[in-house]
Amino acid sequence: MSDARKQLRKLLNSGYTMAPGAYDVLTAMLVEQAGFSAVYMTGGGFSRSNGFPDYGLLTLTEITNYLSRTSDAVTIPVIADADTGHGNAINVIRTVREFEKTGVAGFHLEDQVSPKKCGHYEGKLIVPAEEMVGKIKAAVDTRKDQDMVIIARSDARAGEGLNAAIDRVSAYLDAGADLGFVEAPRSEEELAEITRQEPRAAFCNIFEGGKTPPVPSDRLEAMGYRIGIYPSQTHRAAIRAAQTVLETLKRAGSAADMETGIATFQDREMAVRTSWWQEQEANYLQLDALA
């Protein structure tokens, strides 16, 4: 667990890291296999993979079960979405305890009212800054492994404006958070202004269709960002691919025409390292036979 956390700490000081989003364990494995240095376990993606919108409808134990399996399946650092900490500062204590057990390398905690909404939905409500400072302090004091990265997120841009959101993140960083995150800035100029005013707010969220423009990684790095999450690209790709195959199957009675555009049987098995499991099976069955 600590090794992955140390890896994430090193990434914070080594330029800009892209952390694609994963909505299940298999997607996280694919992120690692693609050569990325970190993976983001998107709360919204996990909600949608369970048939819900990103409205904070899943329980703490549902989320930690998913995080534990993911951390066990990959060797790269896992950055998790802790939403609001599932309540007030007392709930944050329990959330941090449970998140540490999963092996995730870091997580972000936001200042929305619980239950939260996707940071790019309308109608978000924000808790007072003083309440969020208390929640950050609770997270920092509860953390046992000092390598665990605590990321403080503010969703105040929509209701209070950019400067207020930056001020909030600065207060959360002063309370002990390791990295700041202003959610949903609305232009490249706003992205640049965030790190100009608060260099520690070096975490950003990039995906097509949200309120923040999809700025290329080299420009984000030049602005001073250290980690960018790309939460929904893999999920949107999977949704569209599945819809296309299903439409073809329904129309033609076969998906044969799609075979050149989808993973082969071998691709599927390589993704989950079937050959390794087969080797273990052969090894231990042989030992049993000789006993």
Catalytic residues: 40, 54, 81, 83, 108, 110, 118, 153, 183, 205
Contacts of residue 106, defined as CB under 8 A and 6 or more positions apart, other chains included, come to: 5, 8, 77, 79, 80, 148, 149, 150, 151, 178, 179
Which stretches within the chain are classed as H helix? Answer: 2-11, 25-33, 43-49, 60-73, 89-102, 129-142, 157-160, 162-174, 188-197, 217-223, 233-252, 265-271, 274-290
pTM equals 0.93
For residues 190 and 193, give the distance between their C-alpha atoms in angstroms, rounded to a whole number.
5
For residues 244 and 258, give the distance between their C-alpha atoms in angstroms, rounded to a whole number.
9
Pick the CATH number of 2-238 from 3.90.1150.10, 3.20.20.60, 3.40.630.30, 3.20.20.70: 3.20.20.60
For residues 199 and 222, give the distance between their C-alpha atoms in angstroms, rounded to a whole number.
12
Q: Does residue 232 contact residue 205 with C-beta atoms inside 8 Å?
A: no
Task: Tell me 258's DSSP state.
Answer: G
Closest of 59, 12, 73, 39 to residue 271, by C-alpha = 73
Q: Over its length of 291 residues, how does the chain's per-residue pLDDT go in tens digits? A: 579 999 999 999 999 999 999 999 999 999 999 999 999 998 888 889 989 988 888 899 999 999 999 999 999 999 999 999 999 999 999 999 999 999 999 999 999 888 876 667 677 889 999 999 999 999 999 999 999 999 999 999 988 999 999 999 999 999 999 999 999 899 999 999 999 999 999 999 998 878 888 999 999 999 999 999 999 999 999 999 999 999 999 999 988 888 888 999 999 999 999 999 999 988 888 755 555
Each domain of the chain, given as residue ranges in start order, spans: 2-238, 258-291
For residues 139 and 144, give the distance between their C-alpha atoms in angstroms, rounded to a whole number.
10
Tens digits of per-residue pLDDT, 217-243? 999 999 999 999 999 999 999 999 999
Tens digits of per-residue pLDDT, 90-103? 999 999 999 999 99
Q: What does 207-221 look like in DSSP terms, one character per residue?
A: -TTSSS----HHHHH
| β-bridge partners, 40 | 21, 79
